[in-house]
């Protein structure tokens, strides 16, 4: 049986930092509130005039180098993002062009904060088909481009960043082992951006009504996120006969430290097994999981059992069980 193994991972986050002290000057908030309610200390900001593919190009070039892959050898590039450079062409096309990738098929996936899981499962199936041997999965967002800096309930939450992994076939017991993904439109009223699409194309009215920004009802989303991420992570452990001792790492979407801790506790995991970097980057939407994997890459060992889990707009959510395929 062919499986898709991650053979390299890299991430890029911009240098410019927005701290909680900066937010204290912009809106009615405090470092104490943001740290205790969300767990974010600072986040990265990409310059105006640059798009998500600018960050992706850095991450992809690094993954190509790590995996000794020439751009022309890449066969598929899948890009999960909510903040594409443009409505069209795809951010996959923009990234391919920036990296000299000329022999691949490429497309974008929209699954909000769950985008990396959706793209990884899709990429894994390209590899499992036996037809593709070099599949790039890229995920991330320039969330600051859709953040309303007058709304204190959302503006401290988000940051910019992108991660990328290379998938290659293996006949050994490594790689993407299992996944459970969901979509349920019950979340549509609670988390969305209504401006700029085909229902409400950009107009003076959409701009005046703040419709090009993230709208979120935090408490509703919080409750769903905790229960759905915890349920699906326990389900994937049980389905694969994994006890809490078998799981080496949990890589949760980084939206709120309290959500992350609640999910880890439900799975029975000690805190040292849970990847957390929300304090440095905030919520980079589809970027959070691959950015964690890149940061922890040197600590990951061949054979490690890793559970990835995410929750986002739609609602979309899910868990993916990964067996790490290499030592760095
Ligand atoms: O990534 C996609 C999925 N998204 C998520 O998973 C996010 C889920 N939601 C959350 O993480 C949390 O709901 C938030 C971080 C967004 C908000 O935290 P909360 O503990 O749910 O706060 P709340 O909305 O219940 O607000 C509590 C209070 C309110 O004041 P009153 O009504 O009690 O007087 C808010 O107005 O905190 C106030 N508040 C703030 N105060 C200081 C809201 N934002 C701020 C702020 N600074 N930035």
Query: In this predicted model, what pLDDT tens digit does every residue of 245-274 receive, in sequence order?
Result: 999 999 999 999 999 999 999 999 999 999
Same domain (yes/no): 90, 231: no
Tell me which residue has its CA closest to atom 42 in ligand 1.
Answer: 29
- With CA atoms as reference, report the closest residue to 236 among 169, 306, 296: 306
Do 105 and 125 reside in the same domain of the chain?
yes
Contacts of residue 245, Cβ cutoff 8 Å, sequence gap at least 6: none
Count of structural domains, the chain:
2
Q: Which of 141, 218, 256 should be mutated for ligand 1, with most atoms under 8 A from CB? A: 218
Where in the sequence is the domain holding 144, given as residue range(s)?
3-173
* 328 found inside a domain: no
Final residue in a domain of this structure, among 173, 194, 227: 173
Q: Tell me what pLDDT residue 318 has.
A: 98
What is the average per-residue pLDDT within 154-166?
98
What was the pLDDT predicted at 287?
Answer: 98
Backbone dihedral region for residue 201 (phi beyond 0: left; psi -120 to 50: alpha; all else: beta): beta
Ligand 1 centroid to residue 115 C-alpha, Å: 23
Q: For residue 305, what pLDDT is reported? A: 98
Short-list 77, 236, 46, CA closest to 144: 46
Q: Give me the pLDDT at residue 139, please.
A: 99
In sequence order, the 6+-apart residues with CB closer than 8 A to the CB of 34 are: 20, 23, 40, 41, 156
Confidence at residue 155, expressed as pLDDT on a 0 to 100 scale: 98
The alpha carbon of 228 is separated from its chain's Cα centroid by a whole number of angstroms, namely 17
Omega into 228 within 30° of 0, i.e. cis? Answer: no
* Residue where one domain finishes, among candidates 173, 206, 231: 173
Q: What is the mean pLDDT of residues 9-29?
A: 98
* pLDDT of amino acid 255: 98
Tell whether 20 is covered by a domain. yes
pLDDT of residue 41: 98
Final residue in a domain of this structure, among 152, 173, 194: 173
CATH number at residue 217: 3.40.47.10
Residue nearest to atom 25 of ligand 1 (CA): 219
**Based on the domain organization, do 196 and 268 belong to the same domain?**
yes
Q: What is the pLDDT of residue 151?
A: 97
Residue 88 included in any domain? yes
The CA 149 to ligand 1 mean position distance, Å, reads 15
User: What pLDDT was estimated at residue 320?
Assistant: 98
33 lines ligand 1 (CB under 6 A): yes
Contact 308, 289 (CB under 8 A): yes
Q: Which of 27, 222, 227, 316 to mutate to test the pocket of ligand 1 (most atoms within 8 A of CB)?
A: 222
- Three-state SS for 182? strand
Confidence label for 173 from pLDDT (cuts 50, 70 and 90): very high
- 122 and 228 belong to one structural domain: no
Question: Same domain, yes or no, for 209 and 283?
Answer: yes
Same structural domain, 72 and 8:
yes
DSSP state of 174: -
Residues 182 and 263 in one domain: yes
248 is catalytic: no
E-state strands within the chain: 3-12, 17-19, 42-44, 76-80, 105-109, 135-142, 160-170, 175-183, 191-192, 215-216, 249-252, 305-312, 316-323
Is 162 in the same domain as 63?
A: yes
Annotation says 253 is catalytic: yes
Residue 174 binned pLDDT confidence (cut-offs 50, 70, 90)? very high
d(C-alpha 285, C-alpha 289), whole Å: 9
Q: Provide the mean pLDDT of the chain.
A: 98
Same domain, yes or no: 223 and 306: yes
Catalytic residue of the set 224, 253, 256, 292: 253
Average pLDDT of the residues in 199-209: 98
User: Do 101 and 71 belong together in one domain?
Assistant: yes
Instruction: Please indicate, yes or no, whether residues 136 and 183 belong to a single structural domain of this protein.
Output: no
Does residue 187 share a domain with residue 151? no
For ligand 1, atom 35: residue with the closest CA = 153
For the stretch 101-123, pLDDT in tens is 999 999 999 999 999 999 999 99
Residue 277 appears among annotated catalytic residues? no
Rg of the Cα trace of the chain? 19
The pLDDT, as a whole number, for residue 185 is 98
Q: What is the mean pLDDT of residues 227-237?
A: 98
């Amino acid at each position: 049986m062919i499986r898709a193994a991650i053979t390299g991972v890299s991430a890029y986050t911009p240098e410019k930092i927005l701290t909680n002290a900066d937010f204290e000057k912009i809106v009615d908030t405090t470092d104490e509130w943001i740290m205790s309610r969300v767990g974010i200390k600072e986040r990265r900001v990409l310059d105006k005039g640059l798009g998500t593919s600018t960050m992706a190009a850095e991450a992809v070039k690094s993954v190509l180098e790590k995996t000794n892959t020439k751009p022309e050898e890449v066969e598929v590039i899948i890009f999960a993002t909510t903040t594409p450079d443009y409505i069209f062409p795809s951010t996959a096309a923009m990234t391919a062009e920036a990296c000299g990738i000329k022999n691949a098929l490429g497309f974008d996936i929209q699954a909000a904060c769950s985008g990396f899981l959706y793209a990884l499962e899709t990429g894994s199936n390209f590899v499992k088909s036996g037809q593709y041997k070099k599949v790039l999965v890229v995920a991330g967002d320039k969330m600051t481009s859709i953040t309303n800096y007058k709304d204190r309930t959302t503006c401290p939450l988000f940051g910019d960043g992108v991660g990328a992994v290379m998938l290659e076939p293996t006949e050994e017991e490594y790689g993407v082992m299992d996944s459970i993904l969901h979509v349920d439109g019950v979340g549509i009223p609670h988390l969305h951006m209504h401006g700029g699409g085909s229902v409400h194309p950009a107009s003076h009215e959409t701009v005046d009504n703040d419709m090009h920004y993230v709208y979120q009802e935090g408490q509703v989303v919080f409750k769903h996120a905790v229960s759905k991420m915890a349920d699906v992570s326990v389900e994937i452990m049980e389905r694969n006969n994994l006890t809490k001792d078998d799981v080496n790492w949990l890589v949760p979407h980084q939206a709120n430290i309290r959500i992350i801790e609640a999910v880890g506790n439900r799975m029975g995991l000690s805190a040292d097994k849970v990847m957390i970097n929300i304090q440095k980057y905030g919520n980079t939407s589809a970027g959070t999981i691959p950015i964690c994997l890149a940061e922890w890459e040197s600590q990951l060992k061949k054979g490690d059992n890793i559970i990835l889990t995410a929750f986002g707009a739609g609602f979309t959510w899910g868990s993916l069980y990964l067996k790490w395929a290499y030592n760095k």
